[in-house]
């Protein structure tokens, strides 16, 4: 993985289907990639000490790989929320969150667990 996208917008909600806390991210630069909804479970969390950011790296079917950066004072604020300390769903769309009634198409990850890095301190 050589680069990671930083979400343009994000927030917490509950997934209607099962009421699970869900972190929703908008990454417009992925509009060409998020063409149909996909669920995946191949992921890893990493911590980038140099940029003080968590990285969510994942692979979809067809071996496509992506990474989302959560810099401490930007998208990382979402990971400081109490809901991020328990398993949660992660939904990534290329749609703007402010004017979208539907988040489809999207990438959906169920029951994500963030193992905090001890040197991160957050």
For residue 41, the model assigns a pLDDT of 82
pLDDT of residue 93 exceeding 90, the answer is: yes
Cis previous bond, 16, omega within 30: no
Q: Which secondary structure element, helix H or strand E, spans residue 78, and what is its range?
A: helix 76-79
* φ, ψ dihedrals at 69, nearest 5°: -95, 140
The 10 Å Cβ neighbour count of residue 106 is 20
Would you place residue 101 in the very low, low, confident or very high pLDDT band (cuts 50, 70, 90)?
confident
State mean pLDDT over 89-94.
Answer: 96
Is residue 1 very low, low, confident or very high in pLDDT (cuts 50, 70, 90)?
A: low
């Amino acid at each position: 993985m050589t680069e990671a996208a930083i979400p343009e917008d994000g927030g917490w909600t509950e997934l209607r289907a099962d009421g699970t806390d869900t972190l929703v991210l908008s990454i417009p630069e992925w509009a060409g990639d998020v063409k149909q909804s996909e669920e995946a479970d191949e992921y890893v969390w990493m911590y980038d000490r140099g940029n003080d950011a968590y990285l969510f790296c994942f692979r979809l079917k067809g071996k496509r790989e992506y990474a989302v950066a959560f810099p401490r004072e930007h998208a990382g604020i979402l990971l400081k929320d109490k809901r991020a300390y328990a398993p949660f769903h992660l939904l990534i769309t290329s749609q703007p969150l402010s004017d979208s009634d539907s988040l489809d198409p999207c990438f959906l990850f169920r029951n994500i667990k963030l193992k905090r890095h001890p040197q991160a301190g957050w």
